[in-house]
Structure 1
Amino acid sequence: MDHAEEWGQLEEALTNLVGSMSSQLSLRDRGLLAEFIENREFGVALEWLHSSIMENDLWPSLTQQLEIPRLAETMDIDLS
């Protein structure tokens, strides 16, 4: 898979994940996450989302809970 295809898949997955959690996220977080994704800062976006979930005691759905570590593994990011 080339970088353009990988970036496209990451962008889509992160956009969908953030969109599915938008009702739980603050307006500020939604804006920052959208900006990170738009600028292809996918790792920063995922780390920010994870931090927001932890700090704000959010309750992601099971699907969202599975998607976050899948994306972290794809990007080789340790969220622990």
Structure 2
Amino acid sequence: MGLLKVIRTWALRDKIPIREIARRAVIARNTIKKYLREGIVEPAFQTPDRPSKLDPYATQLTAWPTTDQRKSRKDVPSL
């Protein structure tokens, strides 16, 4: 949950004083007053789907742990 939403919840629903909110959130009282006065809402960023450089190797990477589990402990080289 975002910090701004928590601050608004504490102030409006729980009726916690601004000084106590500042103490809990470790933010200046003036900043908290500004957030409550302006009604700032946290931006909801849409992260675009980006291909990973590991996507072509995904099947091999997921298969390795299962093959290592089947091996005997003595067969696996130690580091």
TM-score under structure 2 normalisation? 0.26
Which entry has the higher C-alpha Rg, 1 or 2?
Answer: 2
TM-score after normalising by structure 1: 0.25
The structure where helix makes up a greater share of residues is 1
